[in-house]
Amino acid sequence: MKIWRLSEIASDISDTIPYYFLCLSFSSISFSVAMIILIREPSWLRPMPIAIYSFYVFLSYLLFAVPLQAFFNKHPKKFSFLYLLFYILFSFIALFIVYILINLDFTMNVVKMAKYYEFSLAAAVIYWIWDSVFLQKKINDY
């Protein structure tokens, strides 16, 4: 690979990093608020609980959603239904893994809980929306 090609790739990556960070940040905060609403604890709608949830959601999104998002950004499409389906699939898998790690419970009880589906769908839809707003906008630039 030529040196000029490597510098071109590095330039492209450095141009999109702020968008990845914005998408991660807004998605984490939005999903944290959604989680508090879904668990019906409005007294937790304060800065500290939201910040704590956002930190853990940020890490989860960073591990599970950003690699998928980077793959999708090769062929950007705003509000693609196919992208949403993949985000939902990965969200189910990610939440299942996180549940097992937190609870050390290897039974399939988590898939019987309504909150599992609510959280998975909310996480996927929120991330998909912010991804479409911040990163999939390149389609209009070309």
pLDDT, tens digit (0-9, with 9 covering 90-100), for 67-99: 888 888 888 888 889 999 999 999 999 888 888
Helices (H), 40-104: 47-72, 81-103
Residues 142 and 118: their CA atoms lie apart, in Å, by 37
DSSP letter, residue 107: S
Reduce the DSSP state of residue 106 to 3 states and report it: coil
Domain ranges in the chain are 16-140
Give pTM, 2 decimals: 0.79
Residues 103 and 107: their CA atoms lie apart, in Å, by 10
